[in-house]
């Protein structure tokens, strides 16, 4: 442990016992250094990020690799204490449970939210889930943090009537959830922490809901789930002390820095796994470690599909100390990608999570020493604004990548094998052609081929 880490450890050890503590802040609206602690879980220094999971597992990473080769402190899985045992997730890991995946899935207009339910994507299509069933289910599962069910429109413009409808539903669902928790009379320390969902509009446009948060359920809400940064612009003072968990889909590290500068404490980062699937090894640090201004901005990632890496014995990123970079080289990873070996994406996922760990550690250090704003400006000058474009083929599409396009959509994964000579099979399975059948019909049945 270095001197900086030692100072941070001392600061965390001296914190009060409440769930979330703000160590240092630059003002009412701005970046802040904090600490999220729950009984029996690893202390999460903020700003930080949650690893996004699919069915309770970080894509490409098995649980032994999760524990031994990454520093992931928290995940939002599809379950909790019983599921923790089922998926063999390490006990110190913070678990967050919500109804909406990140990034979300666009629901068809034929499956709208109602006053009592939301539309969710399941293995058998879109189905309604009642708000009461959700509240009952999450309390039984007992995750560390529950994201309250919200009517959060996605993919459609929000008019005044739609915002009013969402506000009314959120008030009703949150009050019912809080009442159910209080009626259960479970010990305060054993209950999951409840984060209220903020619809993606300004607080002024959902004033009745904000009044409910600051008055009726103020003692029952432990944090806020944010879906759009516009919700923080006029957030009332009574709610600013709460931890803010963002489901805002930042697409670049620049966007992460912007959201942290507006007061976000914990983020979910979809581009991390998207880069892994694209065969890109993330390559950026904060603060930017360039000693002088580069002639050209640095790239944010290395595309392992490029032929230049076919014989390269360099690590994925020079100087990186992650498992992938200390044990393997670029040529090996590119060979794995070309062979479609699962290990390619395992190594990239380990490296990319390590890169984000160091990125957030650097953010927290600059917040401690007061140089965050200056380093954000420097980072914008040193690095390109966008991640590299995808050039290669990713792994087979999994559930976390699924995007509904409507009825009759084709299969997401092409068949890996095709019949060598399917014409004979077609002929054997087809009925005999009629005497009036033309050449085109005979060819379609596999009876003959038209000679040219």
Inform me whether the pLDDT recorded for 141 exceeds 90: no
Quick one: pLDDT at residue 67? 61
Q: Is residue 178 within 8 Å of residue 193, measured between CB atoms?
A: no
Average pLDDT in the 76-105 region? 72
Quick one: pLDDT at residue 403? 61
Quick one: pLDDT at residue 248? 92
Q: Which residue has the higher pLDDT, 436 or 357?
A: 357
Inform me whether the pLDDT recorded for 357 exceeds 90: yes
| Mean pLDDT estimate for the chain | 84
DSSP state of 213: I
Inform me whether the pLDDT recorded for 12 exceeds 50: no
In 3-state terms, what secondary structure has residue 259? helix
Domain 19-401 sits in CATH at 3.20.20.105
The answer to the question of whether 335 is labelled as a binding residue is: no
Q: Which residue has the higher pLDDT, 111 or 170?
A: 170
- φ, ψ dihedrals at 157, nearest 5°: -65, 145
Domain ranges in the chain? Answer: 19-401
- pLDDT band of residue 72 (cuts 50, 70, 90) is low
Q: In 26-100, which residue ranges form alpha helices assigned H by DSSP?
A: 63-69, 81-86
The answer to the question of whether 60 is labelled as a binding residue is: no
pTM (predicted TM-score): 0.83
Per-residue pLDDT of 274-291, as tens digits, reads 999 999 999 999 999 866
What is the spatial distance between Cα 69 and Cα 63, in angstroms, rounded to a whole number?
Answer: 10
**Lookup: tokens for 130:** 């009642």
Q: Is residue 413 within 8 Å of residue 397, measured between CB atoms?
A: yes
Q: Which residue has the higher pLDDT, 76 or 372?
A: 372
**Lookup: tokens for 434:** 């009629």
The answer to the question of whether 351 is labelled as a binding residue is: yes
Average pLDDT in the 6-35 region? 70
Winning range, highest mean pLDDT, from 3-12, 139-148, 274-283, 434-443: 274-283
**Lookup: tokens for 290:** 């360039």
Burial of 319 (0-12, 13-18, 19+ CB in 10 A): exposed
Average pLDDT in the 376-393 region? 93
The answer to the question of whether 203 is labelled as a binding residue is: no
Percent of the chain with pLDDT over 70: 77
What is the spatial distance between Cα 21 and Cα 101, in angstroms, rounded to a whole number?
Answer: 27
Quick one: pLDDT at residue 142? 80
Of 154-163, 301-310, 336-345, 415-424, the least confident: 415-424
């Amino acid at each position: 442990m270095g001197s900086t880490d030692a100072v941070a450890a001392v600061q965390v050890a001296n914190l009060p016992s409440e769930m979330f503590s703000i160590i240092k802040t630059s003002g009412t609206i701005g970046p802040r250094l904090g600490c999220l602690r729950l009984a029996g879980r690893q202390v999460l220094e903020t700003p930080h990020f949650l690893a996004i999971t699919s069915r309770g597992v970080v894509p490409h990473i098995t649980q032994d690799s999760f524990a031994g080769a990454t520093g992931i402190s928290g995940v939002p899985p599809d379950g909790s204490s019983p599921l923790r045992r089922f998926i063999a997730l390490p006990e110190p890991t913070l678990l967050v449970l919500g109804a909406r995946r990140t990034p979300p899935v666009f629901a068809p207009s034929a499956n709208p939210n109602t006053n009592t339910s939301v539309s969710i994507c399941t293995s058998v299509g879109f189905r309604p889930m009642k708000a009461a069933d959700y509240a009952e289910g999450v309390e039984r599962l007992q995750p560390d943090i529950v994201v309250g069910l919200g009517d959060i429109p996605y993919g459609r413009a929000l008019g005044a009537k739609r915002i009013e409808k969402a506000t009314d539903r959120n008030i009703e669902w949150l009050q019912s959830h809080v009442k159910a928790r209080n009626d259960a009379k479970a010990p305060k320390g054993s209950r999951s922490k409840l984060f209220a969902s903020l619809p993606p509009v300004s607080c002024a446009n959902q004033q009745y809901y904000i009044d409910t948060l600051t008055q009726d359920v103020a003692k029952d809400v432990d944090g806020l789930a944010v879906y759009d940064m516009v919700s923080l612009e006029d957030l009332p003072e009574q709610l600013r002390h709460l931890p803010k968990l963002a489901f805002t889909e930042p697409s670049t590290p620049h966007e992460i820095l912007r959201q942290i500068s507006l007061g976000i404490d914990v983020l979910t980062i979809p581009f991390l796994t998207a880069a892994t699937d694209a065969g890109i090894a993330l390559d950026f640090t904060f603060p930017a470690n360039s000693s002088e201004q580069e002639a050209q901005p640095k790239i944010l990632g290395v595309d392992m599909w490029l032929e230049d890496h076919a014989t390269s014995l360099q690590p994925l990123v020079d100087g990186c100390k992650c498992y992938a970079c200390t044990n393997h080289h670029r040529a090996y990873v590119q060979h794995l990608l070309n062979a479609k070996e699962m290990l390619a994406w395992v190594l990239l996922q380990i490296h990319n999570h390590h890169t984000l760990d160091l990125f957030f550690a650097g953010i927290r250090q600059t917040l401690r020493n007061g140089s965050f704003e200056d380093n954000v400006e420097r980072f914008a000058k040193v690095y390109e604004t966008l991640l590299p474009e995808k050039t290669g083929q990713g792994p087979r599409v999994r559930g976390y990548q699924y995007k509904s396009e409507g009825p009759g959509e084709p299969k997401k994964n092409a068949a890996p094998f095709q019949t060598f000579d399917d014409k004979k099979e077609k002929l054997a399975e087809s009925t005999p052609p009629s005497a009036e059948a033309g050449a085109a019909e005979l060819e379609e049945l596999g009876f003959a081929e038209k000679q040219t």
